[in-house]
Amino acid sequence: MKTLSICLRAILNFFTEILFGCSHSRLSRPFTLNDETYEVCLDCGKQIYYSAQEMRPLTPWEVRRMKAAQAGEVKVVPIAPSRPHLVPTSERESNLAA
Ligand SMILES: [Zn+2]
């Protein structure tokens, strides 16, 4: 009977995580890999990014910003041209240099 209740609890946890999401209550210690510091949820394996400087988990916004910076998406574009194909990038850069 004891085994059965453990099994039922595991099934219940499984569905709870599907329905409500994992609460990530059991986390590994923060570690750094490839210049990224994160904790790993021991229940679902999710990586939770962690700020080594501030010793706290990153907010979703900070994670997005970090990912964007890594992907090279954070570029300062003062004006988004409505028709970018009319102004070649090389031409704009030479104008800026001049
Ligand atoms: Zn989790």
* pLDDT, position 23: 84
**C-alpha of residue 21 to centroid of ligand 1, in Å:** 8
Cα of 29 vs centre of ligand 1, distance in Å, is 14
What one-character DSSP code corresponds to residue 84?
G
Amino acid at 19: L
Question: What is the phi/psi pair of residue 44, to 5°?
Answer: -115, -10
Residue 4 pLDDT exceeds 60:
yes
What residue has token string 């946890």?
13
Q: How far apart are CA 35 and CA 61, in angstroms?
A: 18
How far does residue 32's CA lie from ligand 1's centre (Å)? 19
Residues 7-66: tens digit of each pLDDT: 898 888 788 777 888 888 899 999 998 888 999 999 889 999 999 888 898 998 999 988
**For the segment 72-90, what is each residue's pLDDT rounded down to a tens digit?**
865 666 665 666 555 555 6
How far does residue 49's CA lie from ligand 1's centre (Å)? 13
- Is the pTM higher than 0.75? The answer reads no
**Distance from the CA of 10 to the center of ligand 1, in angstroms?**
14
| φ and ψ at residue 53, rounded to 5 degrees | -75, -45
